[in-house]
């Protein structure tokens, strides 16, 4: 998705509004798409006056789908009414199972784009919005760092891998962890270790693109999944992250906690990496080599062929 679910709309006037019901008792003032099937199930996507859906880099809502056009469809508001328009997509846009060219949307309509993605169009009030976000976060977010969790990463990497393999586009994976993290917990306590994990996660989140996936892989280990990124560019990003983390001011109980990270990078297309497991293992092997060769460094997987 081109929009991250943590992005906040600073100006409510730019959000599509809904009229009260016939009794004038409901005031659902925010319009959303909610992903109910496909990648990122449960995500809420706030709509603006015009919202383009597709797999291209210029789409407002970017989805990874084999049968998705670069500019697949758009939602727009005219005189307070929301319409969905197909943008000449190859495989069509459907509302409640019927292929459409242009369709007025009603609360609860189901929109199918691509092969597996189904979006629900709905208006929510502030209570519903908060509840939906809590449900989404609890399922897909790490409880400590608030970035994506391992399950979310595992779902996304399989979808992204299949898409990249089929379309011959680059996909890079950066796997990294904190050097000597056990010493932080042993000498400063687990609360200090937790503080280091939280600050590190938020710092890296600020350095990656919106369309990249940052997730906690387990313990002190993290992953960054970079769409349409070569191994060279992923290596540059990894080095930027590594160098900045070395200077990161992590403070707990008035004392700075210095940390460094080791990083492994892998990329497809690569004839050696025929499936997702091989892809992840290649990044893991590169991370191991970074550890073995002295830590606090980046190693990029190189194919033997």
Residues labelled catalytic: 220
Buried residues in 201-234 as b, exposed as e (16+ CB within 10 A): beebbeebeebbbbbbbeebbbbbbbbebebeeb
Cβ partners under 8 Å of residue 83, min gap 6: 75, 76, 77, 102, 103, 104, 105
The HSE-up count of residue 152 (CA atoms within 13 Å, CB side) is: 25
List Cβ<8 Å contacts ≥24 apart for 184-187: 184/257, 184/259
Asked whether 212 and 225 are in contact (CB, 8 A), the reply is: yes
H or E element in which residue 121 lies:
strand 117-124
Question: If we measure between CA atoms, which residue out of 128, 86, 122 comes closest to residue 106?
Answer: 122
Q: What are the CA-CA distances from residue 277 to residues 238, 262, 274, 283 (Å)? A: 21, 21, 8, 10
């Amino acid at each position: 998705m081109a929009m991250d679910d943590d992005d906040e709309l600073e100006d409510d006037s730019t959000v599509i509004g809904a009229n009260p019901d016939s009794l004038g008792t409901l005031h659902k003032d925010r319009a959303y798409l909610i992903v109910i099937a496909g990648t990122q199930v449960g995500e809420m996507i706030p709509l603006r006056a015009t919202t383009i859906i597709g797999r291209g880099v210029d789409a407002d809502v970017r989805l990874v789908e084999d049968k998705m056009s670069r500019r697949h469809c758009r939602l727009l508001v005219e005189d307070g009414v929301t319409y969905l328009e197909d943008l000449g997509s190859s495989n069509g846009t459907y509302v409640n199972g019927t292929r459409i060219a242009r369709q007025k949307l009603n609360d609860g309509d189901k929109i199918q784009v691509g092969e597996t993605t189904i979006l629900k169009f709905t208006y929510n009030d502030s209570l519903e919005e908060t509840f939906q976000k809590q449900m989404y976060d609890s399922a897909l977010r790490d409880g400590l760092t608030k970035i994506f969790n391992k399950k979310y990463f595992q779902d996304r990497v399989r979808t992204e891998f299949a898409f990249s393999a089929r379309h011959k586009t680059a996909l890079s994976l950066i796997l990294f962890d904190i050097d000597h993290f056990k010493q932080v917990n042993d000498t400063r306590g687990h609360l200090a270790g937790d503080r280091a994990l939280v600050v590190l996660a938020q710092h890296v989140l600020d350095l990656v693109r919106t369309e990249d996936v940052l997730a906690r892989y387990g313990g002190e280990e993290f992953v960054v999944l970079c769409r349409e990124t070569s191994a060279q560019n992923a290596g540059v990003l990894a080095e930027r992250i590594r160098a900045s983390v070395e200077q990161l001011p992590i403070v707990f109980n008035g004392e700075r906690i210095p940390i460094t990270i080791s990083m492994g990078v892998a990329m497809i297309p690569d004839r050696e990496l025929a499936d997702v497991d091989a892809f992840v293992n290649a990044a893991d092997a590169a991370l191991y080599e970074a550890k073995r060769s002295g830590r606090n460094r980046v190693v990029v997987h190189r194919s033997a062929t």
